[in-house]
Amino acid sequence: MAAGSLTSRADDFPRWYQEVVAGAEMAENGPVRGTMVIRPWGYAIWERVQAALDARIKATGAENAYFPLFIPESFLHREAEHVEGFSPELAVVTHGGGKALEEPVVVRPTSETVVNSFFAKWIQSHRDLPLLINQWANVVRWELRPRLFLRTTEFLWQEGHTAHASEAEARAYSLRIMRDVYVATMVDVMAIPVLVGRKTERERFAGAIRTWTAEAMMGDGKALQMGTSHELGQNFARAFDISYSGPDGTQELPWQTSWGVSSRLIGALIMVHGDDFGLRLPPALAPQEVVVMAVRDDEGVARAAGAIADDLRAAGVRVRLDDRVETGFGRRSIDWELKGVPVRVEVGPRDLLEGQVTVVARHTRQKTQVALAEVVPRTTALLARVGPELEAEAAALLAGRTRRVERVEEAIEAGMEGFARVPWRLLGPEGEARLAGETLSVRCLEGPDGGLLADDGDESAVAVVGRSY
């Protein structure tokens, strides 16, 4: 079992996924069905994703806030499509402080309703716009077929909620979030290429007039919805009585957006970059970029390993020194591979005699003998290559498993293996309904050349069809 006893991805992708999540000590099932414990290795990666997103969200002018976990059940009923979309998934608190509650409260599945009940108070004048709010929070959607990170009853996410003076401004902001926050983080930080497009009416968010989505292809050819940004029109403004006096004194309704990404991004990271030996992390997200391993219990080895770790740290690299020589070197190497640390520096007595160490790139598994004086520059140069190379590999998979087709039957066939690109005018809502019967769906509508659709005229739109998580 060369692959550290993992099931191979090709043999059983879902089982491989579970084994990586467990083996890399990223997460476990919680005691209540569908809930999840995120262990330190998984959480440290999430913290880095969070930090990347948070800085970009703030750069758009949004401010963080926090709204309550508990929402009166009646709030959900105010927006008709919204309640229809979320009712089947709600967790309901009926007792508090030892008594039955007069009105049951729901545990937030998303916060549009409670946020907008406050926007109604905070938005009075055109000077109060745009109002740009984000929150980091846990949300709950009762999940019958849970899978760690991908679909859990409770998950962690950020949800943005904004109000603008015009539809054009709301759309521009919702696209800015998609492009400058989500796509920038997914591509530049997570090294995951994504398709960006509009959801069809069938697939869009309950209560939105337009939903923009970023979709990525996982290692098994299936799609994962990575994040969405919704134009809500004036639906919630009407439902929650949000209005403001314009510059000329007239009462106006604001145009709104909401947008979110969640801890499922960690699932994407595993399923896009993982291989038969475990996780492969882009350095930007790795809790440790380099692990310096003392191969065995030896004074010279300990000294050299410590010195290399210090030198790398001084060069600004996040380093872990692994001197647990009482545990076998093979066992430790397999564990670090599983955890996806981008670079291992193996310090052994034989190499040291020749004034060198072994540098191992996790993503290629290539080993190189490197002279002691060269360890820092060679390691930092290698680290700089990992992200782009992982991204190129994922982009090649995406391109290789995407087919342009012209007929619904072909779309079904191609969508089973990867993504099918089919003109929307040849598919349409009826074709879309047929896909559903085959466990396929339209992941998004793109422009004819893969760019964003300029408007709602869908004549030229191309539907991206695939199976999805």
User: What are the DSSP calls for 177-239, one per residue?
Assistant: IIIIIIIHIIIIIT----EEEEPPTTTS-TT-SEEEEEEEE-TTS-EEEEEEEEEEETHHHHH
Cα gap 415→50, rounded to integer Å: 32
317: contact with a second copy by CB under 8 A? no
Q: Which is nearer to a second copy, 35 or 60 (CB)?
A: 35
Among 7, 18, 67, 126, binds a second copy (CB under 8 A): 67
Write down the least CB distance from residue 115 to a second copy, Å: 9
Q: Which listed range, 36-44, 215-223, 252-260, 342-350, lies at the site for a second copy (CB under 8 A)?
A: 36-44
79: contact with a second copy by CB under 8 A? no
Write down the least CB distance from residue 66 to a second copy, Å: 4
452: contact with a second copy by CB under 8 A? no
CA 210 to chain centre: 21
Q: Nearest to residue 53, comparing CAs of 204, 229, 198?
A: 229
Q: Which listed range, 16-24, 86-94, 348-356, 375-383, lies at the site for a second copy (CB under 8 A)?
A: 86-94
329: contact with a second copy by CB under 8 A? no
Map residues 141-160 to x or -, x wherever contact with a second copy holds by CB under 8 A. -xxx--------xx-x----
Bridge partners of 370, per DSSP, are: 357
Among 65, 168, 172, 371, binds a second copy (CB under 8 A): 65
Q: Nearest to residue 190, comparing CAs of 56, 315, 322?
A: 56
| SS3 (DSSP) at 32 | coil
Among 75, 119, 336, 419, binds a second copy (CB under 8 A): 75
76: contact with a second copy by CB under 8 A? no
Cα gap 211→126, rounded to integer Å: 26
Q: Which is nearer to a second copy, 118 or 329 (CB)?
A: 118
What are the Cα distances from residue 7, in Å, to 11, 15, 276?
Answer: 7, 7, 7
Q: Which listed range, 110-118, 274-282, 297-305, 443-451, lies at the site for a second copy (CB under 8 A)?
A: 110-118
Write down the least CB distance from residue 154 to a second copy, Å: 5
How many CB atoms sit inside 10 A of residue 137's CB?
Answer: 18
Buried b vs exposed e over 184-216: b needs ≥16 C-beta within 10 Å?
A: ebbbebbbbbbbbbbbbeebbbbbbbbbbbbbb
336: contact with a second copy by CB under 8 A? no
72: contact with a second copy by CB under 8 A? yes
Q: Nearest to residue 253, comparing CAs of 266, 269, 263, 241?
A: 241
69: contact with a second copy by CB under 8 A? yes
Listed in sequence order, the residues at least 6 apart from 283 whose beta carbon sits closer than 8 Å to its beta carbon are 289, 342, 383, 386, 387
Q: Which is nearer to a second copy, 28 or 458 (CB)?
A: 28
- 290-294 and 319-322 beta bridge pairing: parallel
138: contact with a second copy by CB under 8 A? yes
Among 10, 32, 392, 399, binds a second copy (CB under 8 A): 32
165: contact with a second copy by CB under 8 A? no
Write out the residues near a second copy by the rule CB under 8 A. 28, 30-32, 35-40, 43-44, 46-47, 63-72, 75, 87-98, 104-105, 107, 114, 117-118, 133, 137-138, 140, 142-144, 153-154, 156
